[in-house]
Structure 1
Amino acid sequence: MQWVDQIHQALENNSFSLYYQPIIPITSTDSNDKHYEVLLRFMDKMGNVTLPMAFIPATERYNIMPAIDRWVISTLFANLGNSRKEKSNICTTKESNRSFIYAINLSGTTINDNKFIDFLSEQLVLHQIPAQAICFEITETVVTANLAQIASKVRAIKELGFRFALDNFGSSMSSWGYLKNLSIDYLKINGTLIKNIVEEKIDIAMVKAINEIAHLMGIKTIAEYVENQEIFETIKTIGIDYTQGHDISKPCPLEIW
């Protein structure tokens, strides 16, 4: 209950901050493509940074996640829109060819909100940003709750031009069936499979299978929790498309380029 009051105040006072973590291409040599995951942080009155795991349970229990998700979207879109306006007068050829993708996590409550698509449409018009610059991430657990409904929502949001990623993939054997019904662009492999991939032969086999099936469906793969060079070299050998983790880059305060 203490978190509930703090969260409402943070939304009113803009006490939340956006951080980013790069998602680095492994096999691509196209340095013009920049891919980032947008992360949420809470700043207390003393200026201390609090990670989401501390307050997200309260937001989910008291149905505050939709408000937070909308704050993240509107804040990021506003920054992107302002950046595009500023660069329109000074943009060089190199800058104009650079492509940015910002991945935003969505809660199940948000994506199931019937008014959410209207909100996205309004934000696109308001801030004049390209929809393809945004990739929404939903977790496998969100999909398991109601596959048919989520698949319908994903299709509707993608019709606006947005991209989609399925996060934490591979946490259950039922994972495979979701891919046939979801129209997604990226597949983020569950970090528990990546963490022990150097030592565990079964984990290596599972990641190889996930990567192969995803590629057959035209889906790019992302390995999370790449924490050291050994893991990086292993997933590179497998053929994973992107890597993300503290060994690559730790989360930093978001700056819009």
Structure 2
Amino acid sequence: MLAQADLAMYRVKDSGRGGWHLLSGDDQSQRLMRTRVLWKQRVEHALVNDCFLLYAQPILGVHDRTVSHYEILLRMQGDDGEIILPGQFIEVAEKSGLIHSIDRMVMSKAIHYQFFAEKQGLRVIFTINLSAHAFNNPDLLSYLKQLLQETGLAPQRIIFEMTETAAISDLVAARRFMEAINEIGCRFALDDFGTGFASFQYLKELPFDLIKIDGSFIRKLSSRTDDQILVKAMAEIAHAFGKKTVAEYVEDQETLALLDKYKIDYAQGYHIGRPVPVTSILEENLPH
């Protein structure tokens, strides 16, 4: 009975609180809750048994056509070896509080991979994604400082990335967090730029170095005049504020040529390169 009451309570919370929910025998919330419990257990198992993998996707300098840096992407390895995308487990990790452990784990793995690469003579720059809950993790900044001290990595070679939606959910906390990251010496990128109602306002409000133009503006860039106008305007305004621009979801040469024309700084997408295990990136580029 208590378990059923718990299910009803979560249904009310998901619908915005301040209401009620009548739990019936055929209610889908029971199946949903069982699924959440299963994924929570899988995330806990993956954290304990090192089943999380880091993938890397190249980001190309549009002007010189050379790889500038790599975005680090998270994957989970299942029991039978299948690769699980974060869309299946991140929401559960956020709701259960396990996201803080995931943020720490991703940061640690990425920085240690970078340290290994530099020891072997390969200088790489990684972009590390942080969750929307990073603002509320009091230990994250001190943990970053500890990792940098242990490895001796130059903080300028690390870029942290957070979505615009996450940043604007608490603008004051976002600004404070980004300023602290900048003080350490690392850089910051704002992902999914353009999806917010007042995106250009954040160019003044938040101290980041790069904006990643949301893929919804890029996917059909070659055929949609309105997207071309918007992307060109984003590039011009971002550069006026001293920010670099990255276009996501670049999937053909025609789009890349337009980005060059609009003076977009960097391009990312399947046309540039698909995500691959970060270990293969290191093996491929290490001097022999």
Distance 2:265 2:258 in 1: 12
- The reply on whether 1:103 has 2:137 as its aligned counterpart is no
Distance 1:200 1:79 in 2: 40
TM-score after normalising by structure 2:
0.81
Partner of 1:23: 59
Question: How far 1:112 moved relative to its partner?
Answer: 2.9
1:59: how far off? 1.1
After TM superposition, the structure 1 stretch with the greater mean CA deviation from structure 2, 110-119 or 41-50, is 110-119
Please name the residue that 1:213 is paired with.
237
How far did 1:66 drift?
1.2
Higher Cα radius of gyration: 2
Shift of 1:125: 1.1
CA–CA separation in structure 2 for the residues paired with 1:76 and 1:173: 33
What code does the residue aligned with 1:176 have?
A: F
Alignment correspondent of 1:187: 211
Return the match for 1:67 from 97, 101, 123.
Answer: 101
Segments of structure 2 that go 5 or more residues without pairing to the other structure are: 1-36
Range moving further from structure 2, 14-23 or 46-55: 46-55
Asked if 1:121 is matched to 2:148, the reply is: no
Specify the alignment match of 2:77 in structure 1: 43
Any conservation in 2 of the 1:131–1:161 contact (CA below 8 Å)? yes
Offset from partner CA, 1:85-117 (integer Å, 9 cap, x none): 3x3xxx5xxx6xxx4210011112113322221
- How far did 1:234 drift? 1.6
2:220 aligns with 196
Amino acid across the alignment from 2:53 = S
CA distance in 1, matches of 2:136, 2:202: 17
Match for residue 254 of structure 1 among 252, 270, 278:
278
Unaligned runs of at least 5 residues, structure 1: none
Structure-1 residue corresponding to 2:157: 133
CA contact (8 A) 1:112 1:150 kept: no
1:112–1:153: 8 Å Cα contact kept in structure 2? no
Report if the CA contact (8 A) 2:245-2:265 is conserved: yes
Structure 2 distance, partners of 1:142, 1:228, is 29
How far the C-alpha of 1:193 sits from its partner, in A, is 0.6
Identity %: 37
Q: What amino acid maps onto 1:66 in structure 2? A: H
Could you tell me which of 166, 170, 181 is aligned with 2:190?
166
TM-score computed with the length of structure 1 as normaliser: 0.91
Counterpart-to-counterpart distance in 2, 1:161 and 1:143: 20
- Structure 1 stretch 117-126 or stretch 162-171: which is displaced more? 117-126
**SS at 2:133's partner residue?**
helix
CA displacement at 1:172 relative to structure 2: 2.6
Structural RMSD (CA): 1.5
**Residues 159-168 or 57-66, more deviating:** 57-66
